[in-house]
Each structure stands twice: as structure tokens, then as C-alpha cells.
Amino acid sequence: MKFRKLIAAVSALCLAAPAASGAMTAWATPPLNSENIVAGDANLDYVFNLSDIVIFQRFLRGDKGLFVPYNEPGPGADVNKDGNYDIFDLISMRKLIVNDITSAPEPSVDTTAQNLCTGIKRSPNAIGNVMLDYQNNRAFIDSQTKFTVDIFKKTYAEDKGKNDLVSPYSIVQALGMTANGAAGDTLKEMENVLGDGMDIQSLNRYLCGQRESTQNTSEWAKWSFSTANSIWARNDRSRIQVLPSFIQNCVDYYDSEFYIAPFDDTTLADVNNWVNTKTNKMIPKILNEIAPDDVMYLVNAVAFEAEWLEPYEKYMISDSKFTAADGTEQEAQMLCSTEIYTSDENTEGMVKFYKGRRYGFAALLPDENTSIDTYIEDMTPEKLHKLLSEYNNKQYEMVNAKLPKFKYEYENELNDELCEMGMPTAFSESAADFSNMSAIAKEHPLFIGYVKHKTFIDLDENGTKAAAATIVAMKDNAMPMVPEKEVVFDRPFVYCIFDADTYLPVFIGVLNSLE
């Protein structure tokens, strides 16, 4: 029954979702030989996905201009190989999607909403070796370091003296998905903030490679870094119609799930349950309510758990004091060990690795003449990168370090920070352009209502647990109007049915009794 409902939902999406001009790839050149033909590939981009079904459906309805100059789909669209392009090929295309769905594993999170991306596979020819590309691209790494410093400085400046914890990785994953629906100045600003000017196609590839690089395939390395992305769209086609090309990009590059949901209390529970599950129960809740003008959520969840390469033994833990930013003394349990030393003109610090040495932990202490507020204000991407990497370029020193055990949660709404960083248009109800996200974006413009970020960390003698969740809430301008007056027809009244062109009643009556 679940599969039948899921199949019906996918079929409905394929039948109903219109394809905006420019969203699909035109047939440029025919394949050179039969080995290049991909079953179901109507637009000849050498992959089969939702876009092919939508574009082929338009072809059957008479839109021949989709395939200029050939005026017909690629040969892969003749799925049943009967020499014709007809409704039977469209049925066969749907079966190809259905076969993927029925052979795919069930979603790991139970929801009342249907995940329409279950079994929809990545387009392998469009991806390539993204992990290798990411690892070798200095420009992307520099751009993400810059984003890290910028977002950290902005969030800390908002509430100086308090604990702060952001996951720039989580934030960029969520906003990277969102940027695939943006266009014009909105997209340019998002590219500048998220990738320091890198175009969205390149950013997609590198973010995909970054995410894939976090996967642990080693049995002995005691660490895990899981990333999950999902999109939740309001089940109201009068307000949002998600473009198949947008969905496919989010599947290809972000391995995203895509849910159609009623945006009621069940959806509120589903989104929170999804985040709770994907963060290993470290962040049990991301949403408190669903606003009437919310039409889409783009959600990222990250869970990191790792044991120290060299754990702290009991004798390495001692009671001590910690002086807080406001000057008060607090009880602390210090973890004492000898670690790798890192430093610069006003910093002393330590670097300690987790098992597998795939991830490390760094603690950076300003000198006594530099306040923590000033230290963060003066931080630069170059300074941070040097402190985290310089020990690798020399025979490093060791230092006796005492690190307090700590555990806390953090939450922030990032609208102001992201606007100040250079992407205000995305939050503008009148200027935002997300026409690559919804087929009816002109009639019902979308904009980012808020970007909410929550984090959690627990560091002790055994290792570290940390989690992050980011939600981008897309809103439209269709906020329901609340009438000031009320009319209750609870006594006799006159009624009529009239001609709207002439305003002449075709029926008129009075209701005096319901019996």
C-alpha cells in the first residue's frame, strides 16, 4: 500500500509539474551510436530523470519546439522500441521510475508525508568524480574558510559574551540547495556569499564532493559524520509548483529527499522527527510552528561522533576553575594531555586528533592582552587557516594542555547575518527571484522567510559529539486575509444565482426554514 501511494504521488508529480522554459535541455546533437542511448532520455542529456518525463509529456501535447531543430525527442524516448513516440512510451517511462522506487530501501524516518525522491537516482554522467574535484580545488576551500569566519564573526557579534556554535557546513548545504532555485541578482548574491563568487554549478559539485568526503568507510576508525538533506513542499499547487529540474539538482548534488506535505501539525511533527533522527537525537526540534505563508522548507541535518585517537585516562582528569567572560569563576573538570602546539602573534593553541585522523579538534587561546571579543573581531580566513594547518608544514612542537570538558546547545536565526554578508535580495518579499524553484513563481513570488540554525556539542574524555541543523523557510505573499467583519446566516435570507456577464439573476429565492 505504501508503494502504491508513493507510485501514485510520483506519477502525479510527473503529470502535473509544468516545465518552465529553460528548465530543460534541448536536443543538441543525436547520439553517435546505440551505446549512447539511455532508455527514457527524451532531452538527450544522456541521463533519465523526472525532467525527461515532463518534457516528453509536453511533446505529446503538441509542443514540438522543445527539440529544435529536430522537432522530436531523442531516440531514447522510444522506450518500448516500436518506432513511435506515443503515450505507451510515457507509460514505460513512469514504469522505469516505479522500478527504481520499488527496488529502493524504505526511508529511514517514518513520516505521514510522501518522499517523492525515494529511488530517484543521481545522474552519474552529470556528476563525475566530485570528491576528487573538491579535494583539489583551492578556490572552494578558501571560499568556505571565508564563509566560516564571516558567519562566526556575525553570529558572535550579535550576542557577545555568550556561547556560540555554528556549523558553516550545515548552513551552506541548506542554502546551496536553496540557491538552485534562485535566479538573477538573487542567485548572484547567494553565489558571492556561499562560494565567494563561484557559480552555482561549480558550487554544487564541490559541496557534493565535500559531503561525500565525510563518509567513513573504515571499520576501525571510530568516527562518523552523517549529512542528510530534505525538502518539504506545501501540498497546494495554487501556491507552489516545484520544478522537476530543481528537484533533480537537489537529488544529484545534495542527495536530498523531497516531501509533499499538508503543512499542518503532522508536517510539524514530521520535520522535527526527521531532524531528531538525522542528528542522532542531539537536536530533537527545529520548528516550533508552521506559519500560514510558509510554502517550503529546505533542511540540512549533520551528526558528528568521534573518539579521541588518544583518549584521556582517569588520572588525566583534574578538578580546576574556569574564569568566564564576565569574570566569574566556575568549577571545571580539566582534561590534561600533551598535544600538538599551534600559535601565531597573539594565539597559543592545541590540535588533537580523533581516531582515524580524518578529523581533528583545535583549541585557540588569545594572549592575555587580547580580549576574546577583539580576537574574534580581528580573525581572518588566512589567520584561521594558518593556525589549523601550519603544524603540517614543519616539525611540530608539543604542548602540555588542559582542556575543560563542556557541553551546550546553541540556536540562532541567521537572517540579519546573511543579509549583512551580502545576500539581502533573497529575503526581500518584493525583489527575491526564485523562479528556478517554482513554476508559478511569477504569480506567487517566493522569498526566504528565515534561516534557522541549531547546534549541539558534548566534549569529554572519550571524544566529541556534535550536531547541527539548518532550515531555510521559503514563504510566499499569499498570507490569508483575516476579515474584520463577520456575517452569520442563522436567520431567514434571500439568495440568487446570477449571470456574471450581465449580473442578471437566473435564480433567486429566500430561505425561511431548513425543514
- Based on the domain organization, do 288 and 150 belong to the same domain? yes
Rounded to whole angstroms, the Cα distance separating 97 from 215 reads 27
- Based on the domain organization, do 448 and 299 belong to the same domain? yes
- Based on the domain organization, do 367 and 237 belong to the same domain? no
- Based on the domain organization, do 394 and 448 belong to the same domain? no
Rounded to whole angstroms, the Cα distance separating 361 from 340 reads 11
Structure confidence at residue 485 (pLDDT) = 59
Are 130 and 206 in contact by the 8 Å Cβ rule? The answer is: yes
Q: Which CATH number covers residue 387?
A: 2.30.39.10
Output the nine-digit C-alpha cell for 164: 556560540
Residue 482 inside a domain? The answer is no
Residue 454 CB: number of other CB atoms within 10 A? 25
Of 355, 388, 406, the one marking the end of a domain is: 406
Whether residue 266 is predicted with pLDDT greater than 50 in this model: the reply is yes
Are 76 and 44 in contact by the 8 Å Cβ rule? The answer is: yes
Residue 204 CB: number of other CB atoms within 10 A? 24
- Based on the domain organization, do 141 and 278 belong to the same domain? yes
DSSP string computed for 173-211: HHHHHHHTT--HHHHHHHHHHHHTT--HHHHHHHHHHHH
- Which tens digit of pLDDT belongs to each residue from 409-468? 989 999 999 999 999 999 999 999 999 999 999 988 999 999 999 999 898 899 989 899
- What end-to-end distance do the CA atoms of the chain give, in Å? 44
Of 387, 406, 425, the one marking the end of a domain is: 406
Q: pTM of the entire structure? A: 0.76
Phi, psi (deg, nearest 5) at residue 196: 55, 40
Closest CA to 442 of 212, 240, 187, 285: 240
Three-class SS of residue 304?
strand
Residue 143 inside a domain? The answer is yes
- Which tens digit of pLDDT belongs to each residue from 503-514? 455 455 556 555
The radius of gyration of the chain's CA atoms, rounded to the nearest angstrom, is 27
- Which tens digit of pLDDT belongs to each residue from 374-417? 988 998 999 888 888 887 766 778 888 888 888 889 899 999 99
- Which tens digit of pLDDT belongs to each residue from 183-200? 999 999 999 999 999 999
Higher pLDDT: 262 or 85? It is 262
Model confidence at 515, pLDDT cuts 50, 70, 90, reads low
Residue 111 inside a domain? The answer is no
Model confidence at 355, pLDDT cuts 50, 70, 90, reads confident
Higher pLDDT: 207 or 88? It is 207
Residue 324 inside a domain? The answer is yes
Structure confidence at residue 492 (pLDDT) = 66
Are 464 and 288 in contact by the 8 Å Cβ rule? The answer is: no
Three-class SS of residue 139?
helix
Residue 367 inside a domain? The answer is yes
Average pLDDT over residues 95-116: 57
- Based on the domain organization, do 167 and 267 belong to the same domain? yes
Rounded to whole angstroms, the Cα distance separating 222 from 227 reads 17
Residue 506 inside a domain? The answer is no
Whether residue 47 is predicted with pLDDT greater than 90 in this model: the reply is no
Rounded to whole angstroms, the Cα distance separating 21 from 66 reads 9
Crossing angle for the helix pair 200-213 and 168-179, to the nearest 10 degrees: 140
Q: Which CATH number covers residue 152?
A: 3.30.497.10
Q: What's the domain range around 376?
A: 314-406
- Based on the domain organization, do 401 and 423 belong to the same domain? no
Q: HSE, CB side, 13 Å, CA atoms: give it for residue 429.
A: 8
Count the domains in the chain.
3
Rounded to whole angstroms, the Cα distance separating 404 from 335 reads 6
Rounded to whole angstroms, the Cα distance separating 66 from 87 reads 17
Rounded to whole angstroms, the Cα distance separating 158 from 149 reads 14
Three-class SS of residue 341?
strand
Three-class SS of residue 260?
strand
- Based on the domain organization, do 300 and 392 belong to the same domain? no
- Based on the domain organization, do 390 and 413 belong to the same domain? no
Are 77 and 27 in contact by the 8 Å Cβ rule? The answer is: no
Of 406, 424, 447, the one marking the end of a domain is: 406
Output the nine-digit C-alpha cell for 110: 517514518
What percentage of the chain exceeds 90 in pLDDT? 37
Average pLDDT over residues 360-375: 87
Whole-number average pLDDT of the chain: 80
Structure confidence at residue 130 (pLDDT) = 63
Rounded to whole angstroms, the Cα distance separating 448 from 428 reads 8
How would you class 396 by CB atoms within 10 Å of its CB: exposed for 0-12, middle for 13-18, buried for 19 or more?
middle
- Based on the domain organization, do 86 and 214 belong to the same domain? no
- Based on the domain organization, do 57 and 190 belong to the same domain? no
**What's at 89, amino acid-wise?**
D
Structure confidence at residue 225 (pLDDT) = 86
Residue 281 inside a domain? The answer is yes
- Based on the domain organization, do 137 and 257 belong to the same domain? yes
Model confidence at 279, pLDDT cuts 50, 70, 90, reads very high
- Which tens digit of pLDDT belongs to each residue from 491-500? 665 553 555 5
Rounded to whole angstroms, the Cα distance separating 429 from 188 reads 17
Residue 169 inside a domain? The answer is yes
User: Between the CA atoms of 143, 145, 146 and 150, what dihedral angle is there, to the nearest 10 degrees?
Assistant: 140
Name the pairing type of β-strands 493-498 and 114-115. unpaired
DSSP string computed for 395-422: ---EEEEEEE-EEEEEEEE-HHHHHHHT
Structure confidence at residue 216 (pLDDT) = 72
Residue 213 is inside which H or E element, if any? helix 200-213
Closest CA to 166 of 405, 483, 388, 418: 418
Rounded to whole angstroms, the Cα distance separating 70 from 29 reads 9
